[in-house]
Structure formats: C-alpha cells, structure tokens
C-alpha cells in the first residue's frame, strides 16, 4: 500500500492540551523527503467574557494586547521548535482574528492544504447539541479532509 504524502498540512490550534496533541500528530505527518510544509493556525475572536484557562487573559485582568502577545509567544516557540527539528522552512505560523470556524475555512480556501489536523474538546452537552464543536463544524464544511485528534 502506498504511503500518502502531503504537500501542505494545516493544523489549527488554540493552545489547549487537545490542540497540542493535534500539533504532535501533524508533525508526525511531515515528510522531509517530499518537502511537506506545515502551517500552524491560531484564530482568535476578541471577547468580553472570560477566556479559557490555558491562556488566562480576561480572568486575570490581562488586556487583549497582552493576550495576543502570549499567543504570539506560544506560536513562535512551537514554529521555531518544529523548524529546528524538521528544517528551517518546514513550518510557518499564522494568527488571524475572527470566529474560529470562519477563519479556519477561509485559510483552507486560500491555501488549499491537503489535510487539516485539529484537536477536539468536548463543548458540553447543551452547547454541543446546538452548535457542535469547532472541529466538527470545520469538518462538515471543509473541502479537504479533516483529521480530528482526541
């Protein structure tokens, strides 16, 4: 059976433990011989409600600029680590503003990756019934395959 080779892998993260598992999975799909590239995408939507505890922004009084600075630092650390391990031009990071599903689908349309890799956090029963998770909504609307990592 032939091994599948990807030209571009898009990995959407929110820096939660689940999304970092997805990033690890995306890294395992890299193939240096074929020149596979990895784009790590973080989409944020400025909100006035408390943010998840792994970025602890509003809850701790952090303003949006400090929040974004923390997200940029996390993105930079991961991109640099991947490029050191796999090659200096393998990985790029992108931070965009907008609703996560819309932003991810827009990048898929613009960059046409071979596969999208995402983590999945359980959104809670009520929210899940009404909205579904970000990964489920991306998978339902993506023109390319989506690998959801648990």
Spell out the domain ranges in the chain.
8-149
Q: Which residue has the higher pLDDT, 18 or 66?
A: 18
Can you name the CATH fold of 8-149? Rossmann fold (3.40.50)
Q: Which segments of the chain are extended strands (E)? A: 8-13, 37-44, 91-97, 115-119, 145-149
Whether 19 shows a pLDDT value over 90: the answer reads yes
Model confidence at 52: pLDDT above 60: no
Q: pLDDT tens across 98-135, in order?
A: 999 999 999 999 999 999 999 987 655 444 444 468 99
59/70 Cα distance (integer angstroms): 14
pTM value? 0.84
Residue 40 CB contacts under 8 Å (≥ 6 apart), including other chains: 11, 13, 23, 26, 75, 78, 79, 82, 91, 92, 93, 94
């Amino acid at each position: 059976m032939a091994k599948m080779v990807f030209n571009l892998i898009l990995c959407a993260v929110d820096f939660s433990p689940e999304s970092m598992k997805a990033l690890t999975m995306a890294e395992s799909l890299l193939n240096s011989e074929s020149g596979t590239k990895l784009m790590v995408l973080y989409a944020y939507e400025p909100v006035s409600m408390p943010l998840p505890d792994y970025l602890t922004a509003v809850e701790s009084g952090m303003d949006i600029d400090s929040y974004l600075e923390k997200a940029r630092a996390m993105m930079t650390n991961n991109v640099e680590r991947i490029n050191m391990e796999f090659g200096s031009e393998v990985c790029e990071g992108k931070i965009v503003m907008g609703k996560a599903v819309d932003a991810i689908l827009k990048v898929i349309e613009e960059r046409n990756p071979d596969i999208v890799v995402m983590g999945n956090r359980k959104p809670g029963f009520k929210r899940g019934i009404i909205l579904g998770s970000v990964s489920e909504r991306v998978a339902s609307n993506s023109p390319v395959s989506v690998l959801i990592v648990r």
